Amino acid sequence: MSIQSELEFFFQESQLAFIRVVPFEKIIFDSRCEFLCKYGCKNYRRKYCCPPDSLQITEMLLKRKYKWALLAATSAQLPEKVSVYKKRFLNRQKEFEIQKISTSLRDFFNENNIDHLVLSGGSCKKCQKCSKIDNQECKKPDLKLTSMEAVGIDCQKTLTSAGFDFEMPAQNSVNRCTAVLFDFDGLSSICWKKNPSYQHFKKIGKKNIKLTCDQLLSENPRLFESIELMPISNIKQGADICNGNCIRYSKNFSCPPYATTFNFNLWNQCVLWKWKENDKKTFRYNLALKKIHTTLFSMGLYFALSIRDCYCDECSSCEYKVSDNPICNNRKIMSPSMQSQKISPYQFGEGKFGLELI
C-alpha cells in the first residue's frame, strides 16, 4: 500500500471531515494571536506549548519554511437547541479528539520516515498539569503538542482559504483543526472531504460595525454616553505613563510588566466608548467593557481586543501579585490599560473611556 493510500485509509476510518495539503505559503500567520492568549486564556505562561514559549517555534517556522502543510479538520453539527453547558462539553470533547488525531498523524509520518512538525488544535493535554507551573522540565517532550494558534496561525482564514470554512465564534457546529508541516512531495495532491463544515466565514464591514455600535448605545443608555467607530490612526500614543511609582505597577494584570506595549497598527479600526459614570454595581465600568467586547466578538471580529481606562478593579485584590504563575479570575474582562500602552485618556475629553481594537 502506498503512503497516500495509507493516509486515505486513516482518513476514512477517523473522525476527520476534511484533509487538504497546501503549499506552506498558504498558511496565514497573524501576530495578534498572542493577544488572544495573553488576555483571556488561563494557559498563557503556564504551559510549555503556549505563548510566550511557543513563539520560539514561530520564529523557527518563518525561517525554516516547510514546503507543504497538511490541514485536517473535524466537524460536529450542533442540534438546534443546545445549552451552554452541553456546548462547552462538546468543545472539550472535540479538543481531546483532535489531539488524538494529531498524535496518530505524527505516528504516521514517523513510521514513514518523513521529517515533519505537528501543530494541533487547542492547548497540549498530554499531562493533567503542565510541569511549567512548578518550574520543572516538560515530562513528555516527545509527546507534547503545540497548537496552531500558539505559533500565530489564523485558523479561521487558513482553513477557510483551503476550502473548509471556519467561523469564530461558531454557530452551527464544533470544528477543530490540526496541521502537519513537511517537505515530502508524495502527498502534495491530497484533497479529501467527507462532511461539510456547517460553518460560514464572515467578513464584517464598517457599516455593520457602526450599526451595531449605534444599537448598543440605544439599548444601554445607563451604561454608555457615546460609542464611536474610528481609524486606529486617530489614537495618539506618547511617552511612558506607567512606572514603578504607581501603586498598581507589577500588581495588576492590566499594568506593566504584564501589560507590555504593543503595535496598535496591527489593527485597522477601533471603537471608542465613554462610560456613563454611576455608583450602581449593575452598571459598572467593567460590565460596559464586557458588553462592548462580547458584542463585537460575537459578530465575528475574532481579534477584537479591549483596552481599559486605568487598572482593573473587578477584584478586591488582583491575583497577579499572589504567585509566580497567576490566573486572572475574570478573563472575560482581562485587558491592558491605556496607560500601559502610552495612551492618555485625557485626549478623549473628561470622563472614563474604553477602546476596542478591531
159-169 residue pLDDT tens: 999 999 999 88
Spatial neighbors of 83 by CB under 8 A, at least 6 apart, are none
CA dihedral 260, 262, 264, 266 (to 10 degrees): -140
pLDDT tens-digit series, residues 293-312 = 999 999 999 999 999 999 99
* Rg, Å, the chain Cα set: 22
Q: Is the pLDDT of residue 323 over 80?
A: no
CA angle 31, 33, 36 (to 5 degrees): 140
Long-range contacts of 125-130 (CB under 8 A, 24+ apart): 125/95, 125/96, 125/99, 126/99, 130/43, 130/46, 130/47, 130/48
Per-residue confidence band for 335, with pLDDT thresholds at 50, 70 and 90: very high
Kindly list the strands in the beta sheet with 173-182, ordered across the sheet, starting from the edge strand earlier in the chain. 146-147, 116-120, 173-182, 68-77, 16-23, 191-193
Tell me if 116 sits within 8 A of 181, measured CB to CB.
yes
Q: Is the pLDDT of residue 63 over 90?
A: no
Percent of the chain with pLDDT over 90: 78
**Encoded amino acid at 45, one letter:** R
The model carries a pTM of 0.90
- Over residues 278-287, mean pLDDT: 92
Q: Where are the beta strands (DSSP E) in 84-147?
A: 116-120, 146-147
pLDDT at 149: 94
